[in-house]
């Protein structure tokens, strides 16, 4: 039986790092794997300016979600306008994904649980409790949680809960 094709697949444009990035990401997330790769043909190489025989695309899955990485050259780069949210059930998960995705290269911690990895891809490492706190029916509790979150780079769940409860 043929595998069902995922309806929407994020497609990431790299200069030459598609294989390296796919291997890095699949090492970070459980239930992840490399699926397939394609290589530039002579015709593709001529059209793209990439060497024939080099990797063109890498298809991989992270936590069951398929992605495609392209070695497309230096024409485009990532911006914070697009990011991937990693929903975390615990501080251990937040710490794990934060440390792994922020490791190496030009990785940069940003405000409110955002970071940019060594490839320039933006990630939001978000504890699921944050969504509940920001949507709390008690507006004062929600405001306190928001104020605390705005002061953080990596989200600290215990500090968020203390702030939401008005415990400084």
Output the domain CATH number for residue 141.
3.10.180.10
Provide the residue range defining the domain that includes 57. 11-71
Are residue 66 and residue 87 in the same domain, yes or no?
A: no
Are residue 98 and residue 62 in the same domain, yes or no?
A: no
Q: What is the model's pLDDT at position 110? A: 85
Is there a domain that residue 138 lies in?
Answer: yes
pLDDT tens digits, 107-128: 787 889 999 999 999 999 999 9
**Region of poorest pLDDT, from 34-43, 101-110, 154-163:** 101-110
Q: What is the model's pLDDT at position 128? A: 97
Is there a domain that residue 1 lies in?
Answer: no
Q: What is the model's pLDDT at position 1? A: 53
Is there a domain that residue 78 lies in?
Answer: no
Is there a domain that residue 115 lies in?
Answer: yes
Residue whose pair of structure tokens reads 């600290």 in the numeric block:
156
pLDDT at residue 2 tops 60: no
Output the domain CATH number for residue 19.
3.30.720.100
Spatial contact of 145 and 113, defined as CB atoms under 8 Å apart: no
> Which of 51, 71, 91 marks a domain boundary?
71
**Region of poorest pLDDT, from 2-16, 32-46, 56-70, 146-160:** 2-16
Report the domain count for the chain: 2
Q: What is the model's pLDDT at position 3? A: 64
Q: What is the model's pLDDT at position 104? A: 82
Chain mean pLDDT for the chain: 93
Helix axes 139-150, 157-164, angle to 10 degrees: 140
Are residue 158 and residue 96 in the same domain, yes or no?
A: yes
* Residue 106, CA distances (Å) to 60, 102, 109 in order: 23, 9, 10
Distance CA 168, CA 151 (A): 14
Is there a domain that residue 31 lies in?
Answer: yes
Position 162 confidence tier, pLDDT thresholds 50, 70, 90: very high
Are residue 160 and residue 121 in the same domain, yes or no?
A: yes
Q: What is the model's pLDDT at position 149? A: 96
Q: What is the model's pLDDT at position 98? A: 94
């Amino acid at each position: 039986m043929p595998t069902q094709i995922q309806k929407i697949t994020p497609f990431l444009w790299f200069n030459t790092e598609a294989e390296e990035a796919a291997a890095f990401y699949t090492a970070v997330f459980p239930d992840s794997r490399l699926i397939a790769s394609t290589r530039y043909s002579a015709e593709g190489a001529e059209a793209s300016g990439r060497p024939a025989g080099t990797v063109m695309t890498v298809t991989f899955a992270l936590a069951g979600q398929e992605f495609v990485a392209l070695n497309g050259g230096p024409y485009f780069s990532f911006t914070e306008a697009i990011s991937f949210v990693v929903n975390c059930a615990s501080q251990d998960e937040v710490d794990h994904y934060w440390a792994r995705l922020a490791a190496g290269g030009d990785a940069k911690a940003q405000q409110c649980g955002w970071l940019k990895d060594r490839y320039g891809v933006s990630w939001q490492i978000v504890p699921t409790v944050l969504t509940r706190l920001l949507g709390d029916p008690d507006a004062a509790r929600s405001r306190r949680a928001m104020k605390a979150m705005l002061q953080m780079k990596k989200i600290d769940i215990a500090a968020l809960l203390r702030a939401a409860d008005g415990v400084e």
